[in-house]
Amino acid sequence: MATAGFSLIPNANPTDARVREEILANPGFGRFFTDHMAHVRWTASDGWHNAEVRPYGPLTLDPAASVLHYAQEIFEGIKAYRHADGSVWSFRPEKNAARFRASARRLALPELDTETFIGSLKALVAQDIGWVPTPGSEADESSLYLRPFMIASEKFLGVRPSKEVDYYVIASPVASYFKGGIKPVSIWLSSTYNRAAPGGTGFAKCGGNYAASLAAQKEAEAHQCDQVAFLDAVENKWVEELGGMNLFFVFKDGRIVTPALTGTILEGVTRDSVLQLAKDAGLKPEERPISIDEWREGAASGEISEVFACGTAAVITPVGQLVGENERITCTAENGGEVGRSLRKQLLDIQYGRSEDTHGWLTRLA
């Protein structure tokens, strides 16, 4: 038995410790995976069952599995941080569990309870604890990125909710999401594509949202930009989010604004934490609609002094430039912005156990 009802099938051929250390020294993002994965099966007749930690490896899926045709799939992103005493912690995993259930409801998938969700993280991390990087310094923000996901695995081509579903967690040691570390990124403003429409799946963390962002991301790369920003689908006027991150606008008078959650924006855990940390720091956080013209004019006049993106993978990353068909607006100084830098440090200090967890955000995994 592994943790909390998860049975264990150990990997008979785990990665050699020397190879693992080489990977941990330079993991990049999402390229390497640990020796095990967690799995729980669901069927309409039996509900959730067969919780196990088993060797990491390819899945056997019937070619007619509905996820391959109709994208009935959801996922999460959470990091496991090693503290100085060797213990391993995650950040607000109950928020991820709640969002996973909200995503499941929208995608007509079965809901997984918080206890099993967090239990699956604990079971996997306990087994693969040697894969959780030990940061060498405060500048080293390596961690073990946990990726829970749920797929519709029934062999059936009719369009209806699958009667067979599999939930997995895989784990990948990671360093910073962007290749250049935390230097400011450039953002392409898509005028061709929208990410989400009212009543759609924008608030859910489902693969389809990310698939739909890729053509826009290609457009961004063709314009030498790192990421793409999406506007709302109704008026093409209101700023929503990037391909996989929320946005914040820092005003020089102390206001810090992020687009309000209207159902088309992902309810980011980092976004919510930044709002709290900003309040704690005496800033004036505002969740409200912000138009692309307010962004343009504010950045041009200096009223907006910094813009940053945030997410579990990206933490807090400054936005250097907003680039459109006929525009290039500087949003944040080349060395990043002070407010974003300070919030980033506060967040990382809590996550890595270097400062007091006054909000009770950490859960011990191992």
Residue 182 engages ligand COI in binding (rule: CB under 6 A): no
> Which CB, 311 or 318, lies closer to ligand COI?
311
Alpha helices in 154-233 (DSSP H): 207-222
Q: How many CB atoms lie within 10 A of CB 295?
A: 23
Determine the Cα angle at 283 with ends 280 and 285, to 5°: 95
Residues 296-325 that bind ligand COI (CB under 6 A): 311-313
> What is the spatial distance between Cα 208 and Cα 318, in angstroms, rounded to a whole number?
26
217 binds ligand COI (CB under 6 A): no
Q: How far is the CB of 282 from ligand COI (least distance, A)?
A: 27
At its nearest, how many Å lie between ligand COI and the CB of residue 28?
13
Binding residue for ligand COI (CB under 6 A) from 93, 110, 244, 340?
244
The reply to whether 173 sits near ligand COI by the rule CB under 6 A is no
CB of 269 to ligand COI, least distance (A): 9
Angle between helices 338-351 and 269-280 (to 10 degrees): 110
Q: Is 29 exposed, middle or buried (0-12, 13-18, 19+ CB in 10 A)?
A: middle
Beta-ladder partners of 242: 229
Best CA proximity match to 246, nearest among 219, 279, 285? 285
Quick one: 77 or 318, whose CB is closer to ligand COI?
77
Amino acid at 126: A
Number of residues that bind ligand COI (CB under 6 A): 5
d(CA 36, CA 125): 9
Q: Which is nearer to ligand COI, 145 or 238 (CB)?
A: 145
If the CB atoms of residues 176 and 194 are measured against ligand COI, the closer one turns out to be 176
Nearer to ligand COI, 15 or 176 (CB): 176
**Which listed residue (14, 77, 173, 298) binds ligand COI by CB under 6 A?**
77
Binding site for ligand COI (CB under 6 A): 77, 244, 311-313
